[in-house]
Every structure is written in C-alpha cells, then in structure tokens.
Amino acid sequence: MNQIALIAKTRSLIASGDISGAEAALAELADTEGDGALMVVLEQLQPKDILAVIREYDNSKDSVINLLVTPAQFARAVVIEKQYKDLTRTHLRGMMNAVIFREAADPLEFLTAIGDLEGGSEALADYFTEKWSRIEAFARTGLFDAVEDDGEIVSEAALRGNAYARPRVERDEVADQDWMELAWLLRYELPDLFIEMLIVLRAKARAHDLGLDEEEAEEDDGKFETSETDRGKVTPAARDSDEESAI
C-alpha cells in the first residue's frame, strides 16, 4: 500500500473509531518498509489523528507510534487533547508518561516543544491537576510532601527569585517516570516553564473552588486568563481553529 493510500486508510479508521486498526496499519508499515517510512507518514497526518492513536496507549506493550513520534508532532497533539474533555486527565497523563519517558528519549526536548506552543502551559497544568497541592508544596519547599508546607501560596516574584535554587531532592530520588519526575525536570531544568505552568494550574484551582467549569471560568473576569504566562500567548479560551475535534 502506498503512503497516500495508507494515510487515507488511517484517517478513515480513526474517523470510524477503529483506533486499534489504525495503529495496526501504521505498525505494519513500519514492519514492512521500516521506521523511516512510518515517520514520513506521521509527518503527513494531522495532529488530531496522531492524538487519537497515542492517547489510547497500552502500557503492557510498546507502541511503534509512541516510539517514533517526534517532540514537535507530540506537542501539537498534546495541546489539543483538551478537546476530548476528559476530566480525569487519565489519557493525557498516560500518553505523556509513555512518550516523554520512552527509552533513549530526551524528556526536555518534549517538554520544551510543548512549552513553545500555544496552549502548552495549559496542557502541562492539566497533567498536574490532581496533584495541585503537592506541586505547590514542591514549589515552596522543594519537597513533594504537603505536610511540610504551611499552605501559603508563593508569589510569582518569589518563584522567579528561587528559580535556580539547589534541589532538595535529586532527580534519581523521584525517577518514577511519572508526575514527580516530570515536575522535577520542569522546576530545575525548565524553571520558566514550570512557573508558567503553575500559574495556569492556580487559575484552574481557583475556578474549581468557585464551582466553575473551564468554559465558565474563561468568562469570569479574567480569572482564567493566562496570556501573560503562556509562552504561546494563549488562554484556555483559545482553540486550534484549523484542527477539528478528534472525537
């Protein structure tokens, strides 16, 4: 099957909801024509199609898509994942862990690519949503134990002043290929992005405390405004106008 036909077949399978079939077709291409051929096809697929495949990760087996997707391709998929409206963020966390911490990958390349896109800080905040109090403790004390935190919210100025403080824990102490390691990398390797993410995360927490959903929060006197903290200059109200929902 030539690449144009395969792309059409993959899109058709995804549109019909056959994600496993789409992944199998792409994996077969890699098996028969090599990883290079698959990478060429991935470059021509829309981010929503790549997202549809990689968010259905299965950690019991390696996915050839997860192994070959580039940081730029992955970042474009991550920033539109919110269109699925998955309140648990289970798929987002799963696919980010699977790809960012894949063997021989450089997590910083993926995190930088995400941070450089519109909506990148928001996507990272979504990843940490359920860990907000522990991320706040980490920002204040350098430890993930909220017990040591007095509950005071560190100002943005203080966060930037402490951006290059020495770690109280080393990376190998939190090398779980999960949220703790990712938070450590952001704070100590990409501190500006960590701060941007945390400010967005705080806005989401405030909205939750006010009983607002994300769409209501966007209209609530700017409480959800993140345009000054997101590298891509975007707010949670922004949408990728040239991308259709993958649902």
So what's the pLDDT on residue 212?
67
Reply yes or no on whether the pLDDT at 146 is more than 70: no
**Does the structure show a pLDDT above 80 at 132?**
yes
- pLDDT at position 240 over 60: no
Is the model's pLDDT at 10 over the cut of 80? yes
- Position of tokens 């990712």? 182
Q: How confident is the model at residue 131 (pLDDT cuts 50, 70, 90)?
A: very high
* Cα dihedral across residues 112, 118, 120, 125: positive or negative: positive
Return the pLDDT at 120: 97
Q: Residue 243: exposed, middle, or buried by beta-carbon count in 10 A (0-12, 13-18, 19+)? A: middle
Q: What is the pLDDT of residue 102?
A: 93
Question: Over the stretch 187-205, which tens digit does the pLDDT of each residue have?
Answer: 999 999 999 999 999 998 8
Q: Where are the domains of the chain?
A: 1-114, 118-234
Q: What's the residue count for the chain?
A: 247
Q: Is 109's pLDDT higher than 90?
A: yes
pLDDT band at 92 (very low <50, low <70, confident <90, very high): very high
* Alpha-carbon distances of 129 from 90, 113, 115, 123, 182, rounded to whole Å: 11, 20, 17, 10, 13
List the end-to-end C-alpha distance of the chain, in Å, as a whole number: 27
For residue 89, the tally of other CB atoms under 10 A from its CB is 18
Percent of residues, the chain, with pLDDT higher than 70: 80
pLDDT tens profile 210-228:
776 665 555 443 333 333 3
Read off the pLDDT of each residue in 112-117 and give the average, rounded to a whole number. 98
Tens digits of residue pLDDT in 59-89: 667 788 899 999 999 999 999 999 999 988 9
Q: Higher-confidence residue: 208 or 120?
A: 120
pLDDT score of 148 more than 90: no
pLDDT of residue 56: 81
**Which residue's structure tokens are 């291409």?**
29
Token pair belonging to 194? 């960590």
At 243 the pLDDT is 41
Tokens of 106: 């450089």
Residue type, 43: E
* pLDDT of amino acid 134: 92
